[in-house]
Chain A
Amino acid sequence: MAIKDYIRERFFPHIWCPGCGHGMVLNGLLRAIEKIGLDKNEIVMVSGIGCSARISGYVDFHTLHSIHGRALSFATGIKMSRPELKLIVPMGDGDALAIGGNHFIHAARRNMDMTAIIINNRIYGMTGGQHSPLSGYGTMSATSPYSNIDNDFDVVELSVAAGASFVGRTTTYHTKQMTDILGQAIIHKGFSVVEIMSQCPTYFGRKNRLGSAIDMLEGFRKNTTPIGSKAKQKDPDLIERGIFVRKKMPEYCDEYDKIIKRAMKGN
């Protein structure tokens, strides 16, 4: 199946800006799904609000464009009623960790079988470039014109601490790694988190003088390194990418089934 078979061509060209990383994530995600050979009818994509959330309109799976920050809650409901379906939940950094921060940590804690993709462009793009919890100290945005004094989350450490059983990080520059990690995350049984560092040339790039989308992609190449590389020991500021955690843990729907069986025995 070609990747064009997985999209709703009538809605293209998409709304994202020229050079936006979200399109690259869509590209990589479609290739991952093609590679692992999932059927369109097995997949449900649930998204919240924001530039990243528009992705669910472009794919020809079962899709739900829900409310801000609550994509994981809607996905939880779908998974509980139809556990045989594969849930994919793409979210922006603000959608996942500011508005939806509470939902995110508790979905991870329950270890429900779904894949949360955090497309991290470090800004709220749709509403005009306000700073997000992933913008980081010292960055410029529409709401931090004299530079941001908030510290940022480390998505990987946060997800590990919250109990996610699969945690990975990659960038839009590393397309092959992105396809590979997304594929493994979707196959993984349990709550998978994949952080994809993405570029917003329109807001984050422009406000922080990072240049064009191409310059930002070059930045991802220079500022990241595979997990455990020698380069990281020399330069601790490099951001590691790869699969940080992959462990077998009891999955929520399976445990719930066991509870139903146990309760029925009592009658």
Chain B
Amino acid sequence: MNTTIPFEQAITQHGATVLRVCRAVLGPGADAEDAWSETFVAALAAWPDLDPDTNVEAWLVRVARRKAIDVTRARARHAVPTDDVPDRPSNVGRPDGHDLDLWRAVAALPERQRLAVAYHYLGGLPHTETAELIGGRPDAVRRAAADGVRSLRRAFAAADAQEGASR
């Protein structure tokens, strides 16, 4: 008998975490949603054969990392140079307002901080495993994640204070 939990439960429990990881890695747009979708399709396909002792969240985060790399490669292949730069990105399929500002701030972090925040802080992978995935030493990964989160908190504390003052 299979003792795996119903897949629907895995989505309920881990769908938001995987979306945070995808957004931190790929930005808050369509690429992150593509990576989320491909992650859960691949996970559903493999689900019946998964060892019941697996840490499901960590496993999903690792699948999401592979799918994020696929999406990045596909985007690079299909990128065509153009003189017509769009005025601003579409808001379709994007978080709005304050949320979008947050994800833009994440996107603006130095890359190592951003990936450390994605996989270690948001995805919950141990800093040793995160270091294997993104390169570098484990203690440096832990520091990069902490620095990234601190600068996001600082940026948003300032923004909230400003917003409060202007009310």
Indicate, yes or no, whether A interacts with B: no
- Could you list which residues of chain A lie within 8 angstroms of chain B, going by C-beta atoms? none
- Could you list which residues of chain B lie within 8 angstroms of chain A, going by C-beta atoms? none
